[in-house]
Structures are given as C-alpha cells and as structure tokens.
C-alpha cells in the first residue's frame, strides 16, 4: 500500500476552489464542483474555508454499513472505492460518513455515489493547491498527528463535534497511532491503566 496520506488544513485554505475544479475535470472531464470528490465549505461568519474530502479512515464506517458490499479499500493506494456495478444508491454510506465526504448525484434515473479515490495514488488536488491546504504527505508519526488534528478541526467546523469534547478525544485515540502500532490513549485512560 502507498505510504502517503492526504492531509487538509483549513488554516491556510483561501477558498479558491482549485481543488474542486481540478477534481471534477480529472474525473468527469468537465468543470463542475457538484461532481468533485473534494469540496470546500465556506463558513462566512467565521471567515473560514474548510476542505472536505475522504479521510481514508482506518475504521471504515462507510464500508461497514454498505448493504451491497460495494465499498472496498484499494490495496495499492489505500483509497476507499465504490464499485458502481454493486452500488444501489441507497445512500447509507452518505449518511454514515462523519465528514460528509461521500457525495451523491443523479444520473438519469439512477443515483451515483462517489468519493475521493486519491487519483490512483497521485491526487491532483494536492499537486495544484498553492497554499498547501491539501497535501499528500509521507505517512509518519508527524503527519499522522497533523491528520488527526485536521480531522478534529474539520468535524468541529462542520458541526459534527465540539473541540476538546469526548468525541474529539475519542477521534484522536482512533486516528493517532504510536510507534508501537497501538492506538494512542488519552492521559485519563493511561492514568487508569497505570493505577490498575
């Protein structure tokens, strides 16, 4: 599997939407943000632009809930992929995704579900992002920590969690991997483990 991860950073996103344009152009042959696998949410009240894209979670709720077994992980890139032949368009994965990264659109009488596929391991959005708000970085302890922080920020900005809440700390434990390969535990959990 490719040893890189896609990391977003809303702190440096300018809202230019180049990522949306290049994504729809690369995958669909047209400039149409509605067909982009990445989107930028604008939080005008806070002056924020938040790139939202599949986080390629290690625990994949989308794959778990899919009744048609249409979602799988690409062994070469690590990207979650949706098999259009198996997908029924039921939208269960769309609602299950914490990040709102799985998109759906109508094509004639059929609903098409789509998600970031990392462009086969060479994501165009990261290549063309001038500010580094979308970056494809080597997977190491530092970038995993950056991704964990980015995921928490994204969830907070889209209203899924409150910063420093139980959900936020749980997400950190799930997404941050120590050198030992074990999920990181919170200080409180470590204290309880040490006491026993």
- In-domain check, residue 107: yes
DSSP assignment string, 54-112: ----SS-HHHHH-TT--EEE-TTT--EEE-TTT-----HHHHH-TT---EEEEETTEEE
Q: Which of 21, 4, 8, 5 is nearest to 157 (CA)?
A: 8
| Residue 66 within a domain | yes
Q: Residue 119, exposed/middle/buried by CB under 10 A (0-12, 13-18, 19+)?
A: buried
For 67, half-sphere exposure in the C-beta direction (CA atoms, 13 angstrom radius) is 5
* Letter string b/e over residues 18-31, b meaning 16 or more CB atoms within 10 A of that residue's CB: bbbbbbbeebeeee
Q: Quick one: pLDDT at residue 107?
A: 83
Q: 10-residue block means of pLDDT along the chain (196 residues)?
A: 86 95 96 94 83 90 95 94 93 90 88 94 96 93 85 75 54 48 45 43
Of 178, 100, 98, which Cα lies nearest the Cα of 145?
178
Q: How many Å apart are CA 155 and CA 179, to the nearest integer?
A: 25
Q: What is the CA radius of gyration of the chain?
A: 17
Q: Quick check: is 108 in a domain?
A: yes
In a domain, 156, yes or no: no
pLDDT at 23: 97
What is the structure's pLDDT at 191?
43
pLDDT of residue 167: 52
Domain ranges, residue 103: 4-139
- Tell me if residue 102 falls in helix, strand or coil: coil
Calpha distance 57→125 (Å, rounded): 19
Classify residue 40: in a domain, yes or no: yes
pLDDT value for 189: 43
User: Of 52, 56, 61, which is closest to residue 153 (Cα–Cα)?
Assistant: 52
pLDDT at position 188:
43
**Is residue 123, in this structure, part of any structural domain at all?**
yes
Identify which of 52, 68, 59 has the alpha carbon closest to the alpha carbon of residue 17.
52
CATH number at residue 76: 3.30.70.20
Instruction: Please tell me the predicted confidence (pLDDT) of residue 94.
Output: 92
Q: Three-state DSSP class for 188?
A: helix
Q: Which segments of the chain does DSSP mark as H helices, in order?
A: 18-28, 61-65, 92-96, 124-128, 141-157, 166-175, 187-195
How many distinct structural domains can be found in the chain? Answer: 1
190 domain-assigned? no
């Amino acid at each position: 599997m490719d040893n890189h991860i896609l990391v977003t950073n809303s702190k440096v996103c300018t809202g230019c939407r180049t990522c949306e344009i290049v994504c729809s152009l690369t995958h669909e042959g047209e400039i149409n943000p509605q067909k982009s696998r990445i989107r930028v949410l604008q939080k005008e009240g806070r002056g924020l632009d938040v790139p939202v894209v599949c986080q390629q979670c290690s625990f994949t709720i989308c794959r778990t809930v899919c009744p048609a077994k249409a979602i799988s992980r690409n062994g070469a890139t690590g990207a979650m992929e949706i098999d259009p032949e198996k997908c029924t368009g039921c939208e269960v994965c769309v609602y299950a995704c914490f990040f709102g990264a799985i998109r759906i659109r109508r094509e004639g009488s059929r609903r098409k579900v789509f998600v970031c596929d990392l462009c086969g391991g060479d994501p165009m959005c990261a290549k063309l992002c001038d500010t580094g708000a979308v970056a494809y970085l080597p997977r190491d302890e530092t970038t995993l920590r950056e991704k964990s922080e980015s995921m928490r920020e994204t969830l907070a900005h889209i209203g899924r969690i409150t910063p420093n809440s139980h959900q936020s700390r749980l997400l950190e434990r799930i997404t941050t991997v120590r050198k030992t390969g074990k999920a990181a535990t919170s200080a409180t959990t470590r204290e309880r483990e040490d006491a026993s």
